[in-house]
Amino acid sequence: MSPRAPGSHRKSGEKAALTCAPEPVPAAAPSLPATPAAPDKPKENVAYCPPPDELDHSVPNLKHLGGAKSDKWNLLLCNQVLNAAWYRRNTTEQEKADQHTAIFGFLAGVNPKDALEGMMAAQLFASHAAAMECYRRAMLPDQSAEGRQTNLAQAAKLTRANAAQMEALAKHHGKGQQKVIVEHVHVYQGGQAIVGNVAPGGAGKK
């Protein structure tokens, strides 16, 4: 009689019950928050800040008009300048387009080097356009004496403001440049040079 294994004292033909324990579930690894995808179109009431210059490698197309690295600013400035111009009431589309081209030609001629110079150029054009409009109104055939005097006074103020803006722009445009003026250079015996104003006088005079 062969020995039986423990637990084998069941009747012949009886099947043993099988039990399956669930496999252990490994602990979930900590997950990092997902990086949100860039929006396909800008959200409402959200302003996106441009990167700093050292990280921005884009090449603006309108820098020669607005002076800024951001073409959004350059475009905004150009539109502000166009809106500051005076247009005749019955101006055709072609005449208006030609006037826009002429205004852009002025900005390109100034050739601002940064956003501040672009802003100065825009104000320079605005004061010029306003002054010329006052001069035009003062010269209307049916303009009253009081209206002519008022318009000429306003034009004079705008002209002075225009001159001050030109001076500020020129000063900012030439910042960092050192100007050295040598008035007189005299070289005497022995090779020694004297630079500056030399007062006339004989020997022995102080």
Domain tally for the chain? Answer: 1
The band of 49, judged by pLDDT with boundaries at 50, 70 and 90, is confident
Q: Which one-letter amino acid corresponds to residue 37? A: A
Specify the higher pLDDT residue, 90 or 53. 90
Task: Evaluate whether residue 44 is within a structural domain.
Answer: no
The band of 185, judged by pLDDT with boundaries at 50, 70 and 90, is low
Rounded Cα distance between 129 and 20, Å, is 91
Task: Evaluate whether residue 165 is within a structural domain.
Answer: yes
pLDDT of residue 54: 76
CB distance 131 to 89 below 8 Å: no
Across the range 106-110, mean pLDDT stands at 94
Specify the higher pLDDT residue, 80 or 36. 80
Task: Evaluate whether residue 98 is within a structural domain.
Answer: yes
Most confident of 21-25, 71-75, 180-184: 71-75
The band of 172, judged by pLDDT with boundaries at 50, 70 and 90, is confident
Across the range 25-29, mean pLDDT stands at 53
Least confident of 91-100, 139-148, 186-195: 186-195
pLDDT of residue 192: 60
CB distance 121 to 169 below 8 Å: yes
Task: Evaluate whether residue 28 is within a structural domain.
Answer: no
pLDDT of residue 28: 52
Residue 17 pLDDT > 70, yes or no?
Answer: no
The band of 13, judged by pLDDT with boundaries at 50, 70 and 90, is low
Task: Evaluate whether residue 187 is within a structural domain.
Answer: no
Across the range 151-172, mean pLDDT stands at 93
Task: Evaluate whether residue 181 is within a structural domain.
Answer: no
Residue 44 pLDDT > 90, yes or no?
Answer: no
Closest CA to 124 of 75, 59, 173, 87: 173
The band of 202, judged by pLDDT with boundaries at 50, 70 and 90, is low
DSSP per residue, the chain: -PPPPTT--S-TTPPPP---PPPPPPPPPPPPPPPPPPPSSPPTT-PPPPPPTTT-----SSHHHH--S-HHHHHHHHHHHHHHS---TT--HHHHHHHHHHHHHHHHHH--SSHHHHHHHHHHHHHHHHHHHHHHHHT-TT--HHHHHHHHHHHHHHHHHHHHHHHHHHHHHTTT--------EEE-TTS-EEES------TT--
The two three-digit tokens of residue 162, written as one number = 């225009």
User: Could you list the residue range(s) of the whole structural domain that residue 105 is in?
Assistant: 63-173
Least confident of 77-86, 153-162, 195-204: 195-204
pLDDT of residue 178: 57
Task: Evaluate whether residue 137 is within a structural domain.
Answer: yes
Query: Is the pTM value of this prediction over 0.75?
Result: no
Closest CA to 122 of 137, 139, 103: 103
N residues, the chain: 206
Task: Evaluate whether residue 25 is within a structural domain.
Answer: no
